[in-house]
Amino acid sequence: MKAVLAKRVDSGTADLSELRDLAAAAGYEVVGELTQTRKEDTAHHFGQGKVTELAELVARTDAGTVIIDNEVGPYQMFNIGRILPGETEVLDRFTLILTIFGQRAQTRKAQLQVELAELRYELPRASAKTSLAKRDERPGFMGLGEYDESREQDIKAQIASIKRELDSIAEKEAQRRAERRDSGFDLVALAGYTNAGKSTLLRQLAAELDVDENAEKHPDLDDVAESQDMLFTTLGTTTRRAELERREVLLTDTVGFIADLPHWLVESFESTLDSVYRADLVLLVVDASESVQEMREKLVTSHDTLHERNEAPILTVFNKTDLLSAAELADKQAALSTLAPNPIAVSGKTGENIDTLRARVEAELPDWEHERLLVPMADDTMSFVSWLYDHAHVETESYEGDQVLLEFDARPAIVEQARAKAAALTPVESA
């Protein structure tokens, strides 16, 4: 599929680099580009002369699609389409992103979230599409379709239905998170912009453990996380076990952030982002090979997204250090110290500093409680001791006559469970 890219900015120079990556991720071959610096034209978004130039570029390159790296109103989209040749498809930035999401959605939850985003995008345009379709002699022009007066109500009803199903899925996932914590796991989420290297970093952190050995206990854990140089490779979530020095964690990689996403689109993926919002620790992964300005903009946007609902502390990880010198890294750390205090620098590709990252993760996780229990020898005592080793870090296990002394560190909830289990042990009566 051949596509021409276009972008307008109020001032400065338009940058099409991210749109190129998005177009490639959607399967388009970029055959032409056009930019303009001027205030937005209410009728055509671009100046009308620039739209004519765009039409000539489309004809010259035999492109079937124009992708505009701006949010274009339905009337503007209609007016642009009338000037372009033939049945040229016109997409704005957000319809392109939704196209990519739709291509990558594999699970029921992902598919529902994509559908919800599409409906939220369409809702404010429904009435405009109705009038535009009536005005044009081609009812299906640019995908406008034929809209009747009930279309807006239909969209609202579909949104409500999808939200109910997503709420049901969210409840089950919240229950699963509680069960994982009750099993002694800390939950760590990887967040950050797409292509920051989160999936590669996940593989490094969890590479030493075979997830399959615990598949019966946690059947939803995945031992494969894709790592490709492509936007939105990870649309759903991938979770793997990792063992730290004293604690076991579940690491979850989620959909990558991307610049200039509207609030309605972020909200549509709230169910997926809950893996980040409800974690015990968030690793905010940043591509350290980018410019300071790019890193700053992405850090600001990431913090805005996370701080809205996030409950966990954030540890910033500067990734891809193999692509820059120590001096360059030091300069960037100094320049971004306000946004990223005390970050840790690693290379997910080479494994450099991964052990230090593991130590920092353990240090940043919520504190465990220390407990000392003296339990009687009973029929179920050894089963309790085995359970404790599975759910806590046991420091002392000593046998004193008909009692067992256990000293351990664990999550507060595990400590409470251990106390209850210990209190329920009935001593074996001597003959």
CA–CA separation, 363 vs 247, rounded Å? 10
User: Which residue type is seen at 158?
Assistant: Q
* 253 marked among binding-site residues: yes
Count of residues in the chain: 431
* 418 marked among binding-site residues: no
* 143 marked among binding-site residues: no
Tokens 């009692």 locate to 403
Query: CA torsion, points 102, 108, 114, 115, in degrees to nearest 10?
Result: 110
Pairing of strands 238-243, 248-253: antiparallel
CA–CA separation, 160 vs 167, rounded Å? 10
* 409 marked among binding-site residues: no
CA–CA separation, 76 vs 356, rounded Å? 52
* 255 marked among binding-site residues: yes
Instruction: Detail the DSSP E strand segments found in 39-180.
Output: 65-68, 89-92
User: Which residue type is seen at 400?
Assistant: E
* 349 marked among binding-site residues: yes
Q: What string of DSSP letters covers 330-379?
A: HHHHHHTTTTSSS-EE--TTT-TTHHHHHHHHHHHSPPPEEEEEEEE-BT
* 321 marked among binding-site residues: yes
* 320 marked among binding-site residues: yes
* 81 marked among binding-site residues: no
* 322 marked among binding-site residues: yes
* 196 marked among binding-site residues: yes
* 193 marked among binding-site residues: yes
Tokens 């800390």 locate to 186
* 301 marked among binding-site residues: no
CA–CA separation, 194 vs 200, rounded Å? 12
* 229 marked among binding-site residues: no
* 39 marked among binding-site residues: no
* 389 marked among binding-site residues: no
- Comparing C-alpha atoms, which of 60, 13, 57 is closest to residue 35? 13
Tokens of 232: 């939105």
- The binding site for GTP consists of 192-199, 253-256, 319-322, 347-349
Residue ranges of the annotated binding site are: 192-199, 234, 253-256, 319-322, 347-349
Annotated binding-site residue numbers for Mg(2+): 199, 234
